[in-house]
Amino acid sequence: MKNKKLQKEEFLEILHDVFRIIKKEEKIKIIEETSSNLVVIGDLHGDIASLEKILKNINFESDKLLFLGDYGDRRWNDIEVYFKIFKLKLEHPSQIILLRGNHEGPSHLLPYPHDLPIHFLKEFGDNEAYLKLRKIWDVMPIASIVPGKYLFLHGGITSKLKELSDITKDEFLEAILWSDPYPGNEEIESPRGAGILFPEKTTKDVLERFKLKILIRSHQCCDPFRIDHDGKVLTIFSTKGEPYPNTHASFLRIPLKETFKNSNELVKKCLHVF
């Protein structure tokens, strides 16, 4: 019990410090080409083993890390994943970008089942740390861009996004956290019960409007990636195994000074599979 108390106090202190840092960040993180590489990490869902495999490939002198959200739920190691990424954020605040996923959503948009509070209760005996974690979710960046090249977010987009700043508006949060690309011709309700399914026309129009080339996202399990909308959308997933059916996971290491026209070129040069 003494160890658990000490662990909880340390975790609460980390949450306090991370909240202070992230609260000052812009909701759309602009990534300039000052770092050599951008390492992009998809859903983790408490998969500490996959996270540690990825981190073995990181050089913080040249790499910036961009997480696409969904850090917890589904596995009992989700507190450990949060501990690890938040420690990284404190040690390398300018090198770590933590985007918000649908498993970090507001209370009316949380997925079911949402087992994270159960894990906190079992680990610490109460949900004080979980409630403080939710305050961090509310100030997390929603998206990130490399100007002229890439749009990064967790789920998807909607044709109603007329300006880049619209991404930060509460009215579009559900679409950004929950939506998926599909091969249809118009936007329709998502079978997930939140967000939409968006067609290639939406992707093409929004990327052209924002002067970007590729939408890079996570949110959907894939083995180890998927390409949609004629190469304009790339999905990666950085966890594998139960409860997911994929046997491979992936992450990206993108040389920021290089330009890729579509996802096929990006996968060929930048995708790492494990």
Contact present, 217 and 229 (Cβ < 8 Å): no
Does the pLDDT at position 2 exceed 70?
no
CA angle 179, 97, 182 (to 5 degrees): 20
Q: Give the strands of the sheet with 188-189, arranged side by side.
A: 180-181, 196-198, 188-189
Tell me the CB-side half-sphere exposure of residue 219, using CA atoms within 13 A: 32
Q: How many CB atoms lie within 10 A of CB 13?
A: 11
Q: How confident is the model at residue 137 (pLDDT cuts 50, 70, 90)?
A: very high
Who has greater pLDDT, 2 or 236? 236
Task: Give the global pTM.
Answer: 0.97
**Mean pLDDT, rounded, of the chain:** 96
Does the pLDDT at position 51 exceed 70?
yes
Q: Which residues of 31-69 are buried (b: 16+ CB within 10 A; e: fewer)?
A: beeebebbbbbbbbbbbbebbeebeeebeeeebbbbbbb
Greatest alpha-carbon pair distance for the chain in Å reads: 59
Residue range 2-273 in CATH 3.40.50.1360 = no
Name the packing angle between helices 116-124 and 2-23 (round to 10°): 130
Q: How confident is the model at residue 102 (pLDDT cuts 50, 70, 90)?
A: very high
Q: Domain limits of the chain?
A: 2-273
Does the pLDDT at position 1 exceed 50?
no
